[in-house]
Chains A and B, each alone.
Chain A
Amino acid sequence: MTITADPPPAAQAAGTPKRPRKKALRTTSLFAHGEPMVWLTGGSLVLAVFMIAGLLGLVLWQGGSTFWPGAILHVELADGSAYLGEVASKSSFAPEESRLEALSDEVAERARTELEANGGLVDRFQLRTENFELTNVHYRWIEDYHVLDRSLPEWALLVERNTWGRFYGTPVAFRLDGATIATEPDEVWSRFQEHHDKARARYHARQSLETHEIGAVNRTLEDARLHMRAAELAEGRDSERWRRAEAAYRAAEEEANGAFTRIRREIDALNTENGRYELVLETSDGVEKALALDEVVRIFPANQLGFGGKLSVYLSRWWEFLTADPREANAEGGVFPAIFGTIAMTLLMSLVVVPFGVLAALYLREYAKQGTIVSIVRIAVNNLAGVPSIVFGVFGLGFFCYVIGSSIDEVFFSAKLPNPTFGKGGVLWAALTLALLTLPVVIVATEEALSAVPNSMREGSYACGATKWQTIRRIVLPRAAPGIMTGMILAIARGAGEVAPLMLVGAVKLAPELPVDGVVPFLHPERSFMHLGFHIFDLGFQSQNSEAAKPMVYTTTLLLIAIVVLLNLVAVWIRGRLRRRFQSVHI
């Protein structure tokens, strides 16, 4: 708007010297072209991609190959000993002179030849020999110069067992009721095949009796005891109610004893039947070992397998890994309870953190008067994201378990005290703790999404006579939903991978029961649970056979990553659908 017409600056321009014009042919500097920046930015990206791809590649390769069955190698050493097992790894090293001097002349000669040919290094390999109850070792390093002979025996068997880890051996006999009925390997093998499935079926029947039936009897008995205790707490021991409860308890006890005897008998019968069959294997050093059939989880003559056979072993191991309970202090078997626990805890966490975070962000962005206090709150929330996660664990333990949980116990579960119900770590408290941990992520993402909703939309809604809440619910929230989903994705990624706080608030090495099952009331938020992240920690650092657990660490890591990716993909897919709804092609 020009109201007062200033004289045009032409008059001044005539007097002042002109800025010299740039020379036309001067080349633009390299920086102005931007090539160095392209290299810098591109290089950073490449570096990041390399590191991520390296990590993922390692996990993928190691985790993916764990279950692939290898050949069973039989080696004879110069000192007359022999070993049977799978090669786990190989390496080279430079042996000290003293070590060579201790060898017999013949072996030392070979070692020196190898040293010469290999430039001062000799090869060795790590053989997984197992048979732990006989040898007390799982793995053995063997130098190449010790080896006189290697072979892949046709009938070398790999046995995976319920206890004691793996067993490597060759079949020598099959016994029925103590009498040997087969001695030739293929005959033994066919006998074994004939009886193995039935023996396993009996084994599972026994397990089900031990856990479910005995568990059910124990529960009724415990219920009766709790009734009695509740009556005692409420009205004392002189009351009519207590006497009735006590009588009921005695009756339940009577009944339970009967049930126990019956179950015991059934179990004994199954055990006796299973005890009739034995598979006798011979180890590499000639010791014979009789294995009960029901002990054998998986057995196969590894050196006879073609690609198809190996693949079927591979898949069957994966299947067991994904669906079965762990064995052998978690080092073998499956991780199903951990998968279940991880997903249940993460979903529960999202269920808590998303509504909570969205409401908080709504208040901050839509209702609160923007000012110092809101800024302080915002900074505090952001800082919460930087607090070490273990601190959240300590807080969760102190507040949720010991304060809230104990109060709940006192009010609702007083009869069970001093055994805590909610007053200890559990999946609910773990989910709440992680919800707290991931709350800043959700709040920040939601605030961002809310502030990205154009004000013109809000004004349009108000102009139609909508109230604030109607505007938020019908315009702002739907429009911000994709951004809120982003927050949820980040929260899931953060929460599912968190381990440290979980150790304090409910993740355990081995949970006897899942948090969801068929026992009334079906959901058991107070139960402790298994978690893949904690499982990795436990396998890697807490198991006594860490060498054997190492491959499982990779496999479990692979699985955890896969689950996080899967959860994220679902969220990304939902977000994509939401986004498409609000996509604008114009203006």
Chain B
Amino acid sequence: MTITPHGSLKKAPPLTIPPRQAARLPESDAAAGGLFEAIQRGEAFETVVHEATRGEKPVLEVSNFNLWYGEAQALHDISLVCPDGKVTALIGPSGCGKSTLLRCVNRMNDLIDSVRVSGDMTLNGESIYTAGVDVIELRKRIGMVFQKPNPFPMSIYENVVYSLRIDGERDRSVLDEVCEQSLRGAGLWDEAKDRLQSSALAMSGGQQQRLCIARAIAAEPDVLLLDEPCSALDPIATGRIEELIDELKGTYSILIVTHNMQQASRASDYTAFMYLGRLVEFGPTDEIFLQPRLKETEDYVTGRFG
């Protein structure tokens, strides 16, 4: 890929893989035919967590989380700490459970009857999965942007202030203010300010996706969940959204799923590599991309596999 979105390449590491270093995974695994085969056989293994992740203040902690769709287990014993104010990327081959994990954070999987979970997650130290959690309140503290833009069938303005509307906010000045700030935050203000009352469905796909981001940040959530937000977008729109992620971080903690290795390396601070429902390796993005501990991770991020 040679197209570079304007101006957002501040700290993108060059994607050249350094020569392999000494600290590698135990010989026994490699001897047994590799880690992936071991996972496919269902053998237990320890997630490789880089030490650099431990010093951060966590916003979201996932501990020993399992999830089943009916009989099929989709998440196996996931433990993960998302640092506050940072961008954490989830990568891994298709069907490995990234979306599933993301949807567990705001309990969207409650909507699916067959889902069963064990383990827990905490948001700012409060449990998400104990009995008595107010799911509505929880979701208000977590913004989510879906893979496909899903604007509501109403005006741009109403889309943005939707979460305030459902809280019963009627003060026009408050709504106007939030609308403008959120649209500015999502980089959509200039394009949308003259057509706030027209239908959101009449916007282009990229505009719709940024509208969904504006809608998600309008409620000022603690955590922002982005599920492949750029998969339907052209490189320019993708660049804008990456810029946006850059601007938002610090204010928000972001968990982003992506299939685009360059995007993950450019936009995120931490990266988690998943495979077949398991978290394989988790560490600072630079280390995952430049000095991965596992050969499998290296194969994946360099595109030699998957």
Residues of B near any A CB (own CB < 8 A): 36-37, 40, 93-95, 106, 108, 111, 113, 136-140, 142-144, 146, 148-154, 162-163, 165-166, 199, 201-205, 208, 212, 215-216, 219, 232, 306
Contact = CB atoms under 8 A, between A and B. Distances in A.
28 contacts: A1-B95, A456-B150, A459-B111, A460-B144, A460-B152, A463-B142, A463-B216, A464-B139, A464-B140, A464-B163, A464-B166, A465-B136, A465-B166, A466-B166, A467-B166, A474-B152, A474-B154, A474-B166, A475-B152, A478-B154, A581-B199, A582-B153, A582-B201, A583-B202, A584-B201, A586-B203, A586-B205, A587-B205
B204 A586 contact: yes
B150 A454 contact: yes
A463 B106 contact: yes
A465 B140 contact: yes
Contact of B111 (A462, A466, A585): A462
B199 A582 contact: yes
A457 interface: yes
B24 to A, nearest CB: 21
Nearest to B137: A465
A543 interface: no
Interface string A429-465: 0000000000000000000000000101101111111
A467 to B, nearest CB: 6
A479 interface: yes
Given A459-B111, A474-B166, A587 B149 contact: yes
A17 to B, nearest CB: 37
Contacts of B108: 459, 462-463
A369 interface: yes
- The interface centre, meaning the residue of A457, A461, A464, A581 with most chain B CB atoms within 10 A of its CB, is A464
A470 interface: yes
Contacts of B204: 586
Contacts, number: 96
Contact of A583 (B199, B203, B216): B199
A3 interface: yes
Given A460-B212, A464-B215, A465-B137, A369 B153 contact: no
Pick the 10 closest A-B CB pairs, nearest first: A465-B140, A584-B201, A456-B150, A463-B144, A465-B139, A460-B150, A582-B153, A464-B163, A479-B153, A466-B166
B105 to A, nearest CB: 10
A369 B112 CA distance: 11
A478 B153 contact: yes
Contacts of A466: 136, 162-163, 166
B113 A584 contact: no
Contacts of A478: 153-154
Contact of A586 (B137, B202, B212): B202
A457 B153 contact: yes
Contacts of B95: 1
A586 B37 CA distance: 43
B199 A464 contact: no
Contacts of A462: 108, 111, 139
Nearest to B93: A1
A493 B165 CA distance: 38
